[in-house]
Every structure is written in structure tokens, then in C-alpha cells.
Structure 1
């Protein structure tokens, strides 16, 4: 009896992780990001909250079981939690007050700067009511300068406080960005569905590695560069084909620590000038001998294995040429 109980527990522990591990995929295209997730319904309803805003008209919901039926589909807009919204409002008000204080300090500075200039330019005249005009002028000038020093100190402190508020506000605003929540009615009550949508912002930027040896050819490698933060818990991949082109795609694993290399070509170098000294410089013209257009992006140049800097890479049509100069 004890052995049967132990075997049953082991079987349950082995099956449970598989049941909970619903696939979550994010595919980065040059012109978009596609999110795809699988969700299991509970009591006839499946819910999913998108990590980021999605493009209107791109939502798709598909049953994964042939016997399942999708009913009502509802999309609820993202709502910032009350506590977070209150903190955002307070920080925004602090930011506005500090900016108003800086404007007031600018006005005070103009007033006391003019007063100091007026006092220092006065011609001292001895009178009965002012037997020591030099002392009076000096006192007036000292007072105006002391007020200016107070203004400068107040401005420095206000700017430091404003910087902290702006930094905190920017960090909170990132957490306040979220996507809509999807609710789907399904039958049977425990059906599984697949959800897909295009994110409102996303995609990757082309990054090229151009390696030359002075032989008339260049090894050009295209990598997918993504500087935006990726949502946690997703398997992220990149593809060279544009989503708008509708081409069959081959995907490459993507991680925040390293951009995947999508393609490598040997291209013709029509003109090459390289200075690999203390002040590196390069100018080369390469011809796109592939059958595909090369999208615009950034490029890093390597000469005989030595890195010489980066430059802009203009879009190059198939069969066309482009000149790269740098570093920039």
C-alpha cells in the first residue's frame, strides 16, 4: 500500500509541471513583435493579460481542441492600479511644483542681478543724510550678492530634488504600462485556446558585422538587435522576414544578453580605404550580391580582425551598392 502511494505521488509530481507549463512565445520581426500564448479555461472562461499594448485589429483566438467552441470574446483596456496611479499623480504634482520654483528662482536671479549691477554702478555722493556713500553702496551690493548666492543654492537643491522626482516618475511610468486583458467564453469548460496578437511597439533593429581583409570581399553578418525590455516568462525568437511580407519564416533564439545572427553573406567590395592607426578611419563600397534587400541599421567594421568602429548602414536593394564611412 505504501509503495503504491509513493508511486502515485511521484506520478502526480511529474505530471503537474507539464500541465502548468503553457507555452508563451514572442517573435521579433523587423517591423513588429508577435505574441502567442496558450491558455487553459476554468469553468468555461479563459483570461489572459497582455504584457504590453497590442495593435487594434490583430487579435486572434483559436481553440486547440477540435471539439471546443469559442463563444464571447471581450477585451478590457489596461487600468493602472489605484495605489500606483495615486503615487504617479503625487510625483507629477511634485515635479510641476519644482519646475514652478525654478521659474520663480530665475525671476529672483534677474531682480537681484540687476540690483547688484545698479548698486555697483552708482556714483557715490556725500550728503547730510548719507555722510558715507561708499559704505551704503557696499552694503547694497553685498545684500544683492548675498541674495544671489541664496538663489543659486536654492536652484541647485531644487534641480537635485527635481532630478530624483523625474527618475522615480519615469521608473513608475514603465511599470504602469500594460496591455489589455482578454476574456474568452469557451465550451467545454476546460478547453484550451491559443491567443495571438501583434504588439503596438516592437521588432528588432538590423546590426551588421562587416569583416574585411583587403581581398576584395567582405563577410557581412546580420544580427537582430533589440534594446527594448522584453517581458519575463516568454520564449523570445527573431526572424529576418518582415511580418508585412507574409513570407515563411525561420526563427532564431533571442536573449537579452546576445542578439541572434540571422544570416551571413560574402559580398563584393568595390572600393576600400582603411586607416588602422591611432585615429582609425574607413571608407568602403560594398555591393549587395544577394537576392534580398538589406534593411537599414547599424554596422561595425573589422579589418584583419581589428575592430575599427561603427557607422550607419543605409538600406541596399538587391544588386545595388552602398558606401560606408566612419567611424561615427
Structure 2
């Protein structure tokens, strides 16, 4: 037992310690992800998600660290994850095969039902009730078709669940991603790795509050997918490929966190109360911030009036909106 514990301890000591911090800058059309990685050894691995743009990876040594070699390889899932992915992929293929077989059965029973309905009934000694025989054959074909349709719905539902499980496992386990393998000269050092993700972006959402005294309170929020609890997130009101310098970013704590709150003057407000309240109003953007297009949730004196599109409003510009229809 002591020998085993000693071997494990030596192995743990031999493995380089790696620590990483992650920052994400979200744009309106994508994101830039930066990882700062510190290692006590001369080798480290940086996982890259499937959504990372090809050829966008940049790795920069920090301090006294020097890059010796970098290569990017396809990520290999953990054995347990790999087995589960293989099981689900096999299940998916079986469900696709079942759908093909059901299509063939459907064609067969459709043809049988059509054949039965197209028969000219003729009374004979062997078939004294020809109409009953035709109805019986048609009813049988139709009942078989009903069974095919029911099984198809169930198969399509099962296939949808399998696809969702595969997508979730691949995303969380980075099965479709890659890994940057980095070798450093000497032992210990820090590198910064960055890449672009066109599939991750932020969208402005607004809370529009019509207050008393001809005032409009406008809260802009940042809507974006969860990026992990350890990620530092900044939103920028611009595009990734916009000319430099980019607008100054603003740090946000979590999805739907407020970005800015503005109090703007209402220049006109018209309320139609029946059958349900509808408000048309005009406001002026007296701030120096461009209000980006998105969606707005409207409130008037605390009452929810619905969700409407929000068009962009430049500084100094006037905009009319209608909430409640």
C-alpha cells in the first residue's frame, strides 16, 4: 500500500501544474476569447471549441517564456464520453434505418389500400359478399398505415432526443473541437492564447419604462449564452471586423445584466385604453450613446404592455414606438 501511495505521489509531482484564466469580448457578430495559461512544466494543452474560427488562433509567450513548438490536433474525448457518443451515434443510425423501413411499409400499405378501393366487386359462390371483402381489405390496409404513422412519430421523437443528447455531450466535452499542444523552452512560464468565435455574440435587449412627468427610463441589457462561471465577459457595441479602434467595451457580470440605464425625454405620448391599453410615444436620444437594434419590453406606470422590435437610434435622433399591439 505504501508503495502504491508513493508511486501516485511521485506521478502527481511529475505532472506540470496548469492554471488558466479566461476572458471573452463579445461583439455584435462574434467574440474574441483569450486564455491566460500558467504552467510549471514545459508542456501545456489549450482546448479549442468547435466554433473557433479556423486560423484565428494566436499564442503569445509572456515574460521569460519562449515557444518551442505548437501544433493543433483534433480533441480526443475521454474514454467514458467516447463510449457514450458511440452508443448514441449507433442509436441514431438505427433510428434512421427504422424511418427508411417505415417509409417502405407506408408505400406498401398505401398501394394495398388503393388496390382494394379500386376493385370492382363481383358476387360469386366463393365470395358472396364482395363489398364486405373489399371493406375488410381496405380497413386492414388503413389500420396498418395508422400503425406506421404512430411508430414514425415515436421514432422521430426518439431521434430528436438522441440528436439533442449528442449535441450536448459534444459541446460540453469538446468532442468536435481541437487542442493546441504547446511546448515551452525550459520549465514554467505563461502564455496568452486567443481565438475568434463567430458563433458566439451578444444582442441588446431593452426595458422601456414610461414614467410620469414625460420621462422614459431605458435599460439596455446584454443577452448572450452562458460562457462559464469563471469567464470575465466584456461587451462591445460594434462588429469584430469594424475598423480600429473598436468602441470601449463594458464589463458585464452575467447574461441579461444591465449595460446602461438612460433617462430620456418623452416628446409625445398617446394612450388608447380599449379594448386593451396601447401606447404610442416619441422620445429623443439625448445621450451620446448609439442605441442598437434589438427587442424592447414595454411598461407604462408598472404595467406590462408587451415585447416589440427596437430600431437603432443615433445620438440626437427621435424615434416613435408603439407598445401593446
| TM-score category, normalised to shorter length | 0.7 to 0.9
Q: Distance in 1 between matches of 2:260 and 2:180?
A: 37
Give 1:200 deviation, angstroms.
3.3
Q: 1:220 to 1:312 in 2, by over 3 A?
A: same
> Is the contact made by 2:57 and 2:194 (CA closer than 8 Å) also made in structure 1?
yes
> Is the contact made by 2:51 and 2:198 (CA closer than 8 Å) also made in structure 1?
yes
**Residue range with higher mean Cα deviation, 271-280 or 178-187:** 271-280
Q: Secondary structure at the match of 2:248?
A: coil
4+ aligned runs moved over 6 Å, structure 1:
none
Q: Distance in 1 between matches of 2:234 and 2:134?
A: 70
1:101 lines up with 2:101 in the alignment? yes
Give 1:199 deviation, angstroms.
1.9
Residue 234 (structure 1) aligned to one of 226, 230, 236: 230
Q: 1:187 to 1:126 in 2, by over 3 A?
A: closer
**Residue range with higher mean Cα deviation, 171-180 or 155-164:** 171-180
Give 1:164 deviation, angstroms.
1.1
Deviations 1:119-139 (CA, angstroms, capped at 9, x unpaired): 5xx5x6655665x3xx22112
> Is the contact made by 1:45 and 1:183 (CA closer than 8 Å) also made in structure 2?
yes
> Is the contact made by 2:216 and 2:266 (CA closer than 8 Å) also made in structure 1?
yes
Residue 142 (structure 2) aligned to one of 148, 151, 170: 148
1:289 lines up with 2:286 in the alignment? yes
Q: Where does residue 318 of structure 1 map in the other structure? A: 315
1:267 lines up with 2:274 in the alignment? no
- How many equivalent residue pairs? 298
> Is the contact made by 1:63 and 1:193 (CA closer than 8 Å) also made in structure 2?
yes
Give 1:20 deviation, angstroms.
6.5
TM-score, length-scaled by structure 1: 0.78
Q: Where does residue 251 of structure 1 map in the other structure? A: 251
Q: 1:85 to 1:171 in 2, by over 3 A?
A: closer
Q: Distance in 2 between matches of 1:217 and 1:92?
A: 56
Q: Secondary structure at the match of 1:248?
A: coil
Give 1:306 deviation, angstroms.
1.0
> Is the contact made by 1:63 and 1:194 (CA closer than 8 Å) also made in structure 2?
yes
Q: 1:72 to 1:127 in 2, by over 3 A?
A: closer
> Is the contact made by 2:42 and 2:188 (CA closer than 8 Å) also made in structure 1?
yes
Q: Secondary structure at the match of 2:161?
A: helix
Q: Distance in 2 between matches of 1:171 and 1:236?
A: 28
Mapping 1:136-215, distance limit 5 Å: 136-177=130-171, 178=174, 179-213=177-211, 215=213
Q: Distance in 2 between matches of 1:242 and 1:39?
A: 28
Q: Distance in 2 between matches of 1:275 and 1:79?
A: 61
Q: Where does residue 62 of structure 2 map in the other structure? A: 64
